[in-house]
Chains A and B, each alone.
Chain A
């Protein structure tokens, strides 16, 4: 038999072990192919709004996927090599030369690479059109992206993944060739030590976890922002330590609880589970972290999507706003805006005029638009007096409210000076972070509110060049007529004048598009992670199956019934599957709480919504894999039963 036939026979014989590995690799290839095809699409290389961001996003996502895929391949193939050790050892015992051994390993890797690439590219090609349709809709492209997958796309995908496979093959070759024949044959036969936990490692893990959680749970946004990277590292480390130590500690405790432990279910499950967790804690920790990342990514994307759309009205509070800088009294564009509104039946919208004054807050080094207190009161309209009417040296600085709140807390009030043209005034300034007064624009981001008396005096004295005329139409911005009027206005005020007119509706649509894209990219990257996560669990399950078969067989011999065996096998599997999920969920809940601190809202439900979705996926995967696993276990048992017990 040629070495090639041996390699291909390995592959056919043990397809269950390969299927997860090949499947998830093919899936990763497919996603990479789709992203690359999109980022290299000729129509997106210029022109469309947001297209540049989309391409950037896709490119970044492709890099993340490639790095991740490489780590995944490296891990999976090393666990493969461990499985193969004994077979390869036997082959070399039977006289297969080193050269032939290398050929077998390379042959096997070549088959895996070829099948994964072919399947990934094939399915990718089938889905490409659908993918383009989805992206075109999300980006609101005027014309759907035509089908396009140039040589470059294929070449890049094949080169990137081919390179990875080559590197991984070299790594597995090294692992095998470093060992002697005896080591190969004996691999995996060493008796395992009984699982014990170490109290100090448990304490260290708990300390790290609590520390990380407290940091992330801090009510101070600055702490939260600076904590993102260190907390992730600390909590990952804590997970790695705790998933082993805490699980074994719990199981030991249950083990010591005689009345509970000495019953069929726990008796058969607990002791073996401790061994399984000891053997697999790295994979479990990696899965838990992946689950946490996935849930947080999807939860964050949903949150930003939901908040940004509701925030359109906070960032652009005025339904339609027209701005004119300079001091000319001729403002023909008001008529143009009015005409568009009238065309869509919106001419009844109340209009308000405001002249803001361009100034500079010298202490804070901020460009501000000075507005009168009477205007501020109309907008805020809560009946509370924010300024002492008698004191002309008081002012309010209105901050733009950011979606993510990272800046430091403002002081109660401070002394500052405002400069408007040649004029300069000393003021006591109070902050206001309750939201914008007008839509943003040049000089309009920060608004300084002064008393009407001060404002009138300044307005009379400053040069016309310091004035900003703002026309504001207020009212409902959600209607269909408003949508049409908004897009007509942005078409009308193109080029230089683009920034002069702004609408809440336009902002809302932009947010929906941008954030929709973010969600889309986030969900796709998460899909790759999910596939990896499932594949890790699956391959782990089938790596141990020989051992599990032996165990089940022994149990069967002492009279454990098939139903009891199934219950034992599935309950162990359930713990292996859902332990990382629960840990990941707790981590992501803390992360979502931190996001809540940044957005000053409760956003936990977005994270939990994502978790519920993921739970369905996970549950379905558990049921499917459970079936496969039980069938594989039964196959072995039946083989055993056919050959008799003795």
Chain B
């Protein structure tokens, strides 16, 4: 079953023709339910614009986005915010946890906004925290735990309300390699256990190697897509190969992190 379908997405910035920038140029792709999908591309390739458009934060100049069969361009203002909060989950590079709330409260936030009963909230938060191995941290505050733990809490918050789709933007961008691995394991786990559909934008071939499918984007267009076979190591190598084909912008990535 297709959970996300983008067709002919185009996004043009700037009004006058001379200053026009085409960030997306007829981009189309589909994501099946329960898949863990990565999007890669060099800087300026349109990754972030794509994510913003897919996540309904930015409107495309043309083209449509269907999330779970719903055309998101039909939603306006408040509806859109409610749609985002009930149906989507977000994981950000800098975690975006609220400093004034404990880890438990941060995870509970989407359920509280949804006015779920207290007992249901508590039960669900404990369940999700246990999956991600952060049940010991529930009473701590964000500044009291490590970056990796904060990111796992953010993942818990993103899936606690069982969204149809989780968006992640460079989730390992601020982490050391050990924490990055723990975070990617967490994504793999929630994908397998909760059946969450995840769409992750990343620069990092190591992080991308945890995905089942990786789409490559260049100059706002779909460059290619690859699917994972048996081993993650082999997939990692495959990713590096595509990146080197694309050239240029990936020189900064050193491939010794497997």
Contact = CB atoms under 8 A, between A and B. Distances in A.
Contact of A271 (B52, B57, B101, B157): B101
A645 B55 contact: yes
B57 A645 contact: yes
B58 A267 contact: no
Contacts, number: 90
B105 A645 contact: no
Which of A192, A267, A554 is packed against the most chain B CB atoms within 10 Å? A554
B25 interface: no
Interface stretch (B76-84, B129-137, B208-216): B76-84
A272 B97 CA distance: 13
A561 B78 contact: yes
Nearest to A556: B81
A1 to B, nearest CB: 27
Given A264-B115, A271-B101, A559 B52 contact: no
B48 interface: yes
Contacts of A559: 81-82, 84-86, 88, 110, 113
Interface in B81-120: 81-82, 84-86, 88, 90, 92-93, 96-101, 105, 108-110, 112-113, 115, 118
Given A192-B99, A262-B108, A267-B105, A646 B201 contact: yes
A272 B100 contact: yes
Nearest to A276: B100
Interface string A549-560: 001001111111
B96 A560 contact: no
B121 interface: yes
Contacts of A551: 98, 100
A273 to B, nearest CB: 9
A646 B78 CA distance: 20
Interface in B164-205: 167, 169-170, 201
B100 to A, nearest CB: 4
A555 B100 CA distance: 12
B85 A645 contact: no
Contacts of A557: 90, 92, 96
A275 B84 CA distance: 28
Nearest to B55: A645
A491 interface: no
A641 interface: yes
A644 B96 CA distance: 14
Contacts of A310: none
Which of A267, A275, A559 is packed against the most chain B CB atoms within 10 Å? A559
A374 interface: no
A263 interface: yes
Interface in A462-476: none
Interface of A: 191-192, 194, 258-259, 262-264, 267, 271-272, 274-275, 551, 554-564, 641, 644-646
Interface of B: 48-49, 51-52, 55, 57-58, 77-78, 81-82, 84-86, 88, 90, 92-93, 96-101, 105, 108-110, 112-113, 115, 118, 121, 141, 143, 157, 167, 169-170, 201
Given A558-B85, A562-B78, A646-B170, 10 more contacts: A191-B99, A556-B81, A559-B81, A559-B84, A561-B82, A564-B113, A644-B58, A646-B51, A646-B93, A646-B169
